[in-house]
Structures are given as structure tokens and as C-alpha cells.
Structure 1
Amino acid sequence: MTLNTLPDNSSSALPRSLYRAVTPEVRYPALTTELDVDIAVIGAGFTGLSSALHLLEDGAEVAVFDAHEPGWGASGRNGGQVNPGLKREPADVAGYFGAERGERLARLSGEAPQYVFDLVRRHDIDCDAAQTGSIRVVRTDAERPVIDTAITDWSARGIRLDYLDRAKLADLLGTDRYPSGLLDPRGGMLNPLAYARGLAAAVVKSKGQIFSSSPVSGLKREGDFWRFVAGSGTVRARKVVLATNGYTDGLWPHLRESVVPIYSAIAATDPLPEAMARRILPGRHVAYESSWRVLYFRLDRENRLLMGGPGLRQRDGSDKSTFRYLIRCAEALYPDLRGIGWSYFWNGQVAVTEDHFPHLHEPAPGLVAALGYNGRGIAMATMMGRIVARRLLGAAEDTLELPVSTIKPFRFHAFWKPVVGLRTLQELAMDRLRGLA
């Protein structure tokens, strides 16, 4: 692959990351004129691009607008894990939404990774996609019920997840630090920035338009149309999709306050020797913890270890000193990594909702907003695009897997991010006392 040469001082430049270094750059123009379009999509991440692609496949006229470029937000910065399910298990989902709707949503979330991999194949997207399976672990024996519940819930729905004890985990992960876990064959990995850019290319190939460096402001209703400013141009559209997720601003009242954008950080090593890579993750599974810190890790195609976890500083940054926690966690799991170089450090904002479910809103006629994937963005945001397209094309609300809900701001929203940062530091200190970090 060629290197991305977009200069760091560009207003649309992605943060320096491994993905940016290995993914071919694609440029899209800024809007500079007046534009009339049937459906305008604001936000060129997974939600927006998937919505646009599904709408185009059904014959709609679509234009996508982004303040930066496709994949600039968390879509191009995440850990690259395509994991099935939601933050809550199927029985809990059914209890929350009701048996019929909840079962449909749980089933959709389980099928979402396969949908992503099928979409990659259908549009011939070069993004290092591999459905190698997801390993979910807990750090203590006391947390094992989390694993047991997941296995029981999915088994009741015809999905087999394999229980893994410490010895089996050691074989698959190359570390004996975890007492129990499960293997879910539905999961896998990809380069998320390459996937986002591949979706963007599919949108354009399907006769959609994409405009980068075109921040949107002044969204308002005028008769049967929506009008807004994008870049130095203006747009009139019959329908609008708000797909800004963890980077949602004040474009629509209270939408920003309905999620808390939490930074997740990732560090990547230099390519590991082949023998070391085989010891660490011989089956190329992706792995993640079910715990407060949600450590997640995988190997890429070039044998680089990507180690992700909570951002200790809740702000953008690539200073190595702020990622030492991740390096320490990686070396605790894999002592052989001591002396291995770490070349890339980056972070991005995950949109967390109060109920830990994705949200679909319709706050005005012809306006749909979708956001809040709580760390399941690759699979669920892609699926959400399909749901958004169905809704805009006339599907009845009760036929959707996710209900249309009212925007509900977090109480004391302004305090949530600093509280999360403080809690992270406190939990880290406790983990170090317990010998877990």
C-alpha cells in the first residue's frame, strides 16, 4: 500500500496513526456552490456512509457532507475489531425493548459482523478483513458469570460460543493472565480507515456525492425542504441524516448531550518477529476484556500488535507518555514485548449512551439521527445505516429492529467526561494494587 501523504497542518488531516500510514489516501472536494439533493447525509463515518450506500442501492439521490474527510472520526481510529452483539446480552436486550423487538435487535447485533464481511466482499473493499473470531475474557474468577451468561443467552438462540478456561486461553492468546473467556466465531478484524474509505468509494461508484472539508451549520426547515450551509456552499434537501456519533456538535438541539464522547486510545508496535507473533495470537483472533477498562488487542497483517484501552487523558493526543499504560498492560500480558518498539499512538471518541444501546431518533419530519454504539461501531454502525435507509424510504417504525426514540440528554452532561477520566485513574490505581495492571 502507498503511504498517506496528507500534511499534518491540513484542516482535514487525520491524526497520525497506523491506519493513516498504511491506507491509500483519497481526496474529496469541498462544497462551494448551491446544491439540491433528495437526501443529505451529515457525517462520513460508518453510519453516514452505510446509510448513503443503502439509500443509493434503492435508487435515492444522496450527498454526504463531512467537516473533515470520510473516516476522520472514530470510524477511522478504532481498534479494528468487528465484534458481534451489544454491550448488554440478548436476554437483557429482550427485557429492555420487549420480547419481540428485543429478540430482533439481539439477532441483528449477532449477525452484524457477517453483514460487514459480506459488504466488504460485495464491494471489493481492500481493508485487510479477516473473520478469525473474537475472544472475550474476564480478568478475575469473580467476573466469570459475565462469560457464562453470554454463552447461555446465545445458546438459547441457536448460537454456539465456546467456553475457554485458563489453559485454552493460554493456547489461543499466548498468556495465562486470564482465568476464563469465550470464543465467538462470528467476529474478526479489518483496517477501519480502509473500510471507511472503501465505503466512500462504493458510495461514489453508486452515483452518490461526497464533500469533505464542508462543516455544516444553520440547519433549518423551509417548507418541505431542509436547508443548511456546508463549507462555502448551501444545500437544500428533502430529507437529512445526522450521523456524527462521537463528534456530534450543536447542530441539532440536545443531540450532543444525549451521548458522552469517551476517548479510547490505541498503541501499535513495530512488526513483531514471526515466531513471537505465533506465540502471542497464533490463530489471529481479536481479543477484548469484559471489565471496566475494556482492554482490546489484535495483530495486524504485518504482525504489529495493536493494544487499545481507556484514554487516561480525555482529549486528542499522540504523545507517547500518555499511552505508557497500554504499553505496560501489553508487556504484562506478553513479557517478550519488552524491547520491542512502539511506533504509533492515537485515540478517538466513542459515543456512550446512558442505556448502552444505539439510538435512532426522528426529531422532525424528514430528519433522522443515529448514534451511540458504545464500542461496537464497526458492526452496529454499518447495520444502523441499513435501518436508517429503510426508515427514510418509508418503512414503518414497528418493522425496524431498533425503535425510534426521543432524544434524552444526560443529566449533568458537562460533568460526565471529567468524572469518567477520574474514575479511570482510580480504577487503574486499584488494579495496580491488585496486581492486575
Structure 2
Amino acid sequence: MARSADSFRSSLWAATAEEPAIAAPPLAGEATADVAVIGGGYTGLSSALNLAEAGARVVLLEAREVGFGGSGRNGGQVIPGLKLDPSEMRAQWGEERGAALARAVGASADAVFARIDRHGIRCSPQRNGWIQAAHATPALARVMRRGAEWQQAGAPVTMFDAAALARQIGTREYVGGWRDGRAGTINPLAYARGLARAAIAAGAVLHADSPATSLRREGTGWRIETPGGVLRARSVIIGTNAYSDALVPGLAQTLLTVQSILIATAPLPEDMAARILPHGECVSETRRLAFYFRRSPDGRLVLGGRGAAGDEERESLFNALHGALARLYPEAASLPITHRWSGQVALTLDGLPRVHEPQPGLFIGIGYNGRGVAMGTLMGEWLARRVHAGTETPLPRTDVSPIPWHALRKPAIALGITWAWARDKMGFAG
């Protein structure tokens, strides 16, 4: 059976990335830094870049290579916001802080595209918007309410009824939806590599093939061991997300990790390309077990969805993905599938990211629930400001609180999938 970890090279993004792989030798011997960053995905790279630009001495450790985890394997959808609507943020955190958080996360896609422009990152950026499509009538009211809220907050929002949405994206499978013009698409692996290139240019030092095997206090700072050396730093940022392990006790147990699986077709023939997503948006469904899809820069149809828990891929779930393709765009289902791959995403029970400071000088940002491109970039900026200037993060900090039933997560996730299928069939929004 195929392993998710082995599919990195088979992704469309690895095959088409314009940004070259980053040459970052393993840590050898001893090194020191103002800030040690653990994890070479969006959170870690964004943190390292922002800190280096602020003048800090930064050393980043990556267990494999830059972008190897979910940052290099996702669908490349740059979607602002959180799972909560602005009114829900204000209800949860109060009018002032909730409104400030809504403004901050609403600008997360801006943060991504600003970085791309500033550093000339060659990741095929296209800012053509994101559509959230309601799969059934019971889900439509919540979808339209969400779009209206962001519209009232000043976002460039377009609302669609069923007929207008069918004309916009080329399928009649949905009953309506809304478009957020702030969003867009990228090659996610190329974006990660571009952030790394910019961080190095700003003075950060990156070490690949350098997993952090231990982390402990040493005087007023931290000692991090890798197979080849030791790194000492005053502060540590951890951005390992779905690839978190036992480095920080209990951290991995705060997350449920599942695969995000993707397929890419051969390039669409001209007649299909004129009908299927002709305006270049990316699309997500409202199902709890939702599919998401987009066009690639070279004209392929890319479709993704939730995969298995654990590292082993399940052929039945890839078959379900192809079935969704046939349902959405029957004419495209006969095209060859040229690429298929998967990566791990980190889910939290309430669908919200987490900011942790379990000890002085230790900063953690994780749990993006499928919105890691924009939110991971923004989290890196937040953590960098927190370390360098002491600025509070817009998202309130929480304790590291392991899920009590985490040891039973695989059967629990399987049960949850069964329940989600039932809700999806009844038409409720995810």
C-alpha cells in the first residue's frame, strides 16, 4: 500500500515548480541563534523571514526538505478568514478583540500575495477569487449569510444563485454560493521555496535533513539537538503543524491529522477549458467531507478531498475523488489522471488555529484546518512580532491541551466520517 510520505515527488507541484529546491545542508556541530525555528513549512518560513528582516539571527531546522510537509502538497488555494464568520468571532472574543481578529484574518490572503510580489516568488500566483458552493438547500442559508457578513465588512464579494453559479464554474451540482475576490491560487511548493529563498537572502540560516530530536531549557535559553549537531537559542518558534511529534510533550495530541489527497488530470482540451472554471476561481464545497477544485496554470483540473488517517493511502478514497470528478464534470472524467499525491493536514476540534506559549521563550502556531497557505503565512508574521517586539497575537493564546481520546483517534475519525457522510446526504453545511 502506498504511503503518503512517499508521494511528495509525484505531486503536480513538484513537477512544475519554477522555484528550485533549496540547498540547505544539515546542521553539523554547534550553532547559536537569537531565534531557532523548527519546521520548514509556511509558519516556520514566514517566521524566519520576518525575524531576519527585523535583524534577528535566525536558524531554521527542517526534518526533510523545505516544503516537504503539507505546505508543499496542498491544493494551493489561498483563502482568507477562519471557519468562523466575523459575527462569531466577535461573539466568542468580544466586540473589540473579535473585530480585530476578523480584520487580521480577513487580510491573510493579502499577506501571501504581498510576500509573493515583494520577493518575486515564482509560484504562478493568480488572484481570481474563491467560491464557496452550497451542495444542498439546507446549507445555502449559512453560505449566503457568510458571504453577506464579509461583504458588509468590506470584502469584494459576489453572490450567486444556482443558475449564475453554474454559468460561473461550469457545473450544475450546486444550489448557490458566494465568491471572495480576495482569494486566489498558487503553486504551494514553489511558494514555500520562494519564502525560504527570501529568508536566506535576509540573513536566516536554513538546515534541511535536520530533525529536532530534543528540546530543553538551558539557562535562560534553549538547547535543540539534531542527529548532526546542537543549536542554542534564546527563543524557539515551532511550526510543525500536522507533522508535530513528541518534541513538545502533548502537542501532537492536541491535533487530529488526516491526509488531504489530490489528483490532477491531463490538460483540458480547448472546448472543455472554455466551460470548466473559465474565470480561474478555486472552489470548495460545503460538505463536511468536502471536495475542492481549481485549474492549474498549465490547464489541468486539480481536485482534492479528505483522505485517510495515518500515513497509508487508501485506494478507495482516491476512487471517491475520481467519482466526484465524474459527478462535477463528466466530460473531464475520461481524461488521464497524470498526478496523484497526498499530505497531512492538522484539524482541531473547534476548527480554529492555536497559539501556544507553554514556557517562556517557546512559541507555537498550529492547527489550520485546511487553510494553511494564508493562515500559516499570517501566523508566521504574528509569531515573529511576538518574539521580536512582544506584540500580542490577534488570536488569543491557549494552553497545550491534549484531546482526551487521542489514542482512539483512528476509529473515532472513522466514526466521524460516517456521521459526516450522513449529514452531507441531509444537505447540512460543514
User: 1:243-267: per-residue Cα shift (whole Å, max 9, x none)?
Assistant: 1001110101111111111221111
Q: Please give the root-mean-square deviation of Cα atoms over the aligned residues, in Å.
A: 2.1
Query: In the alignment, which of 169, 172, 175 is matched to residue 173 of structure 1?
Result: 169
1:388 maps onto 2:412 in alignment: no
Instruction: Say if 1:259 and 1:210 are closer, same or farther in 2 by CA, change over 3 A.
Output: same
Q: Is the CA contact 1:317–1:347 (under 8 Å) kept in the aligned structure 2?
A: no
Task: Specify which of 196, 201, 204 is matched with residue 205 of structure 1.
Answer: 201
**Are 2:210 and 1:214 equivalent residues in the alignment?**
yes
What is the match of residue 65 of structure 1?
Answer: 61
Give the deviation of 1:274 after TM superposition: 2.2
CA contact (8 A) 2:65 2:209 kept: yes
1:408 aligns with 2:401: yes
User: Match of 2:337?
Assistant: 342
Is this contact kept in 2: 1:47–1:243, CA < 8 A? yes
User: Are the equivalent residues in 2 in contact too, given 1:310–1:424 (CA < 8 A)?
Assistant: no
Q: 1:419, CA displacement in angstroms?
A: 2.0
Aligned length: 423
Report what 2:323 is aligned to: 328
Query: 2 CA distance for matches of 1:145 and 1:338?
Result: 31
Counterpart residue number, 2:12: 18
The change in CA–CA distance for 1:13 and 1:233 in structure 2 (over 3 A counts) is farther
1:324-379 Cα offsets, whole Å, 9 max, x none, are 11111011111101320001111111111122211111111111011011111000
Q: Which residue is equivalent to 2:51?
A: 55
Q: State how 1:204-283 maps to structure 2 within 5 Å.
A: 204-283=200-279
For the residues of structure 2 that align with 1:264 and 1:232, how far apart are their CA atoms? Answer: 32
Aligned pairs (5 A) from 1:4-403: 14-23=8-17, 24-311=20-307, 313-317=308-312, 322-397=317-392, 400-403=393-396
Cα contact 1:319–1:345 (8 A) shared by 2: no
Show CA shifts across 1:148-179 (max 9, x none). 22123223322342210111111111001100
| Structure 1 residues 52 and 271: alpha-carbon distance in aligned structure 2, compared to 1, 3 A threshold | same
Per-residue deviation at 1:99?
A: 1.5
Q: Given the superposition, is the C-alpha separation of residues 385 and 97 from structure 1 closer, same or farther in structure 2, using an over 3 Å criterion?
A: same
User: What SS class does the counterpart of residue 409 from structure 1 fall into?
Assistant: coil
Q: TM-score normalised to the size of structure 1?
A: 0.92
Aligned-partner residue type, residue 16 of structure 2: V
Q: Is the Cα contact below 8 Å between 1:298 and 1:307 reproduced in 2?
A: yes
What residue ranges of structure 2 are gaps of 5+ in the alignment?
none
In structure 2, C-alpha distance between the alignment counterparts of 1:208 and 1:346, rounded to whole Å: 31
| Residue 420 of structure 1 pairs with residue 416 of structure 2 | no
Distance verdict in 2 for CA 1:276–1:406, change over 3 Å: same
Distance 1:431 1:337 in 2: 24
Task: Decide whether the 8 Å contact of 2:21 with 2:66 is kept in 1.
Answer: no
Per-residue deviation, residues 79-101 of structure 1 (Å, max 9, x unmatched)? 10001110111111111122111
Cα separation, 2, equivalents of 1:406 and 1:379: 23
Residue type matched to 2:27 in 1? Answer: L
1:414 positional shift: 1.9
Give me the whole-angstrom Cα distance separating, in 1, the residues matched to 2:190 and 2:313. 20
Deviations 1:188-245 (A, max 9, x none): 0000000000001111111111111101112100111200212311111111011100
- The aligned amino acid for 1:341 is P
What CA deviation, in whole Å up to 9, does each residue of 1:92-136 have, x standing for no partner?
A: 111112211111111111111112111101000000111001111
Between the two proteins, what is the percent identity of the paired residues?
A: 40
| Paired residues of 2:262 and 2:341 also in contact (CA < 8 A) | yes
Residue in structure 2 matched with residue 3 of structure 1 by the alignment: none
Is residue 285–residue 292 contact of structure 2 (8 Å, CA) maintained in 1?
A: yes
Alpha carbons 1:41, 1:241 under 8 Å: kept: yes
In structure 2, the CA distance between the partners of 1:323 and 1:53, relative to structure 1 (3 Å rule), is: same
Structure 1 counterpart of 2:87, which letter? A
Task: Answer yes or no: is the 8 Å Cα contact 2:357–2:363 preserved in 1.
Answer: yes
Q: 1:278 to 1:231 in 2, by over 3 A?
A: farther
Call closer, same or farther: CA 1:12–1:276 in 2, change over 3 Å.
Answer: closer
Distance 1:260 1:319, change over 3 A: closer
Displacement of 1:65: 0.3
CA contact (8 A) 2:257 2:310 kept: no
Using the TM superposition, name which of 285-294 and 158-167 deviates more: 158-167
More relative contact order in 1 or in 2 (CA 8 Å, sep 6+)? 2
| Equivalent position of 1:4 in the other structure | none
Rounded Cα–Cα distance in structure 2 between residues aligned with 1:208 and 1:234: 17
**Aligned pair in 2 of structure 1 residues 318, 275: CA closer, same or farther (>3 Å)?**
farther
